[in-house]
């Protein structure tokens, strides 16, 4: 339904800005709350050129209860996308991640509870990271008792998860019923965001939905941010003539989903009444290895620079996780429209129009190593 007043937290960022465009196009009145984090938007914290003039912009912070309350006034729908993002970084910036993601969401919910009414729908961006490892099956088809990899196993480069009896497990598509087992502070705070929103939504009659995003890529990703999505990180390295750094052996399987399909799911989740109180996977439904991402990007960019497989493990990383999107198809009517190959072509086309990004990947790797967070 068009013509509603919509708040998008994090609306100047990667996903948020694409959502804002779609909302304005259908006739909604949009307000953005964004702190223009320098890690994403640069040290000058400039509002990016893609923030439209006909969207109201509030430069504010989720950690400020006053900023949050001001942004919520007279809103009908709230999309809560603002978050600090980065598995590795979250393991040494614990207080920052918890403040932005968990406390920020608490400020939002507190303001909604205190106002008592007005908001017709609340949608929160959750993450596939909350699962920890994805689904696995034993060769005999049974559920495994264990999927966690030990430090000794990782030091020996035995990358695939094994059951308690040592049986090597086979990855399977991860459905929403898979128990949550966050393995990083970032993942834990995303689980906080999802659970808090759905819990308080049910308690106070605020129709709420959580979308568990898988690995998002597309135009407007922060190319100089070493904690952003792997497609943007690899692209940044290749544009600088440097090999993408691939942890473990590069055969980790992920689900890479275009930002355009993410926006589709966000719009659908605000319209479908049957979605209320539920969490949905949003991905492509296709498993792709990390090495495939690197080779596809190199091919599209026309470079012969090959990925460098470093054979190390980052604390907090998982081996395989790709989406079962059956529930989103059934309830939301969601259907991925952008293939991996089409999406990579679009990403590279956009990249070639940008200034060459600064490459901070090796600095990030050194920070992890200095803290003992790589094996």
| Encoded tokens for 67 | 């900023």
313 annotated active-site = no
**96, 156 Cβ separation under 8 angstroms:** no
Structure tokens that stand for 266 in this block: 């966000």
Q: How many residues does the chain have?
A: 375
Q: Give the integer Cα–Cα distance in Å for 216 and 17.
A: 14
Rounded Cα distance between 58 and 305, Å, is 42
What would you report as the CA-atom Rg of the chain, rounded to the nearest whole angstrom?
A: 20
DSSP string, 268-283: HHHH-GGGTT-EEEES
Contacts of 306 (CB under 8 A, 6+ apart): 243, 294, 295, 298
- Which phi and psi (to 5°) does residue 131 adopt? -75, -20
Please tell me what DSSP assigns to residue 179: P
**Catalytic residue (choose from 79, 131, 186, 334):** 186
Q: Which of 346, 56, 63 is nearest to 217 (CA)?
A: 346
Task: Check residue 51 and give left, alpha or beta (phi > 0: left; psi -120 to 50: alpha).
Answer: beta
Q: Are 28 and 2 in contact (CB under 8 A)?
A: yes
Task: Identify the residue whose tokens are 């819990």.
Answer: 199
Catalytic residues, which ones? 186
């Amino acid at each position: 339904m068009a013509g509603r007043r919509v708040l998008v937290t994090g609306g100047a960022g990667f996903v948020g800005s694409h959502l804002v465009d779609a909302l304005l196009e259908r006739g909604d009145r949009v307000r953005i709350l964004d702190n223009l984090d320098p890690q994403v938007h640069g040290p000058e914290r400039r509002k990016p050129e893609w923030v439209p003039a006909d969207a109201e912009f509030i430069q504010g912070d989720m950690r400020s209860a006053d900023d949050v309350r001001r942004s919520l006034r007279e809103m009908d729908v709230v999309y809560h996308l603002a978050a600090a993002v980065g598995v590795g970084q979250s393991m040494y910036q614990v207080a920052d991640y918890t403040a932005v993601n968990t406390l920020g969401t608490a400020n939002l919910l507190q303001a909604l509870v205190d106002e008592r009414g007005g908001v017709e729908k609340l949608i929160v961006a959750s993450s596939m990271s909350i699962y920890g490892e994805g689904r696995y099956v034993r060769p005999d088809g049974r559920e495994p008792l264990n999927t966690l990899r030990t430090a000794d196993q990782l030091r020996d480069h035995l990358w695939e998860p094994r059951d308690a009896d040592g049986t090597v497990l086979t990855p399977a598509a991860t459905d929403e019923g898979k128990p949550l087992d966050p393995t990083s502070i970032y993942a834990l705070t995303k689980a906080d965001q999802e659970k808090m929103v759905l819990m308080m939504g049910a308690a106070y009659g605020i129709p709420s939905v959580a979308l568990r995003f898988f690995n998002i890529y597309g135009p407007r990703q922060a190319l100089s941010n070493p904690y952003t999505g792997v497609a943007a990180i690899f692209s940044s390295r290749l544009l600088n003539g440097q090999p993408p750094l691939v942890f473990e052996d590069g055969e980790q399987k992920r689900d890479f989903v275009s930002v355009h399909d993410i926006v589709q799911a966000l719009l659908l989740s605000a319209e479908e009444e049957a979605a209320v109180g539920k969490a949905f996977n949003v991905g492509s439904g296709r498993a792709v290895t990390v090495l495939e991402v690197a080779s596809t990007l190199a091919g599209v960019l026309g470079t012969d620079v090959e990925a460098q497989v470093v054979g190390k493990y980052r604390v907090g990383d998982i081996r395989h996780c790709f989406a079962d999107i059956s529930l989103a198809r059934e309830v939301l009517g969601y259907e991925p429209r952008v293939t991996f190959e089409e999406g990579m072509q679009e990403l590279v086309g956009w990249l070639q129009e940008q200034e060459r990004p600064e490459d901070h990947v090796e600095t990030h790797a050194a920070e992890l190593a200095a803290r003992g967070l790589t094996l």
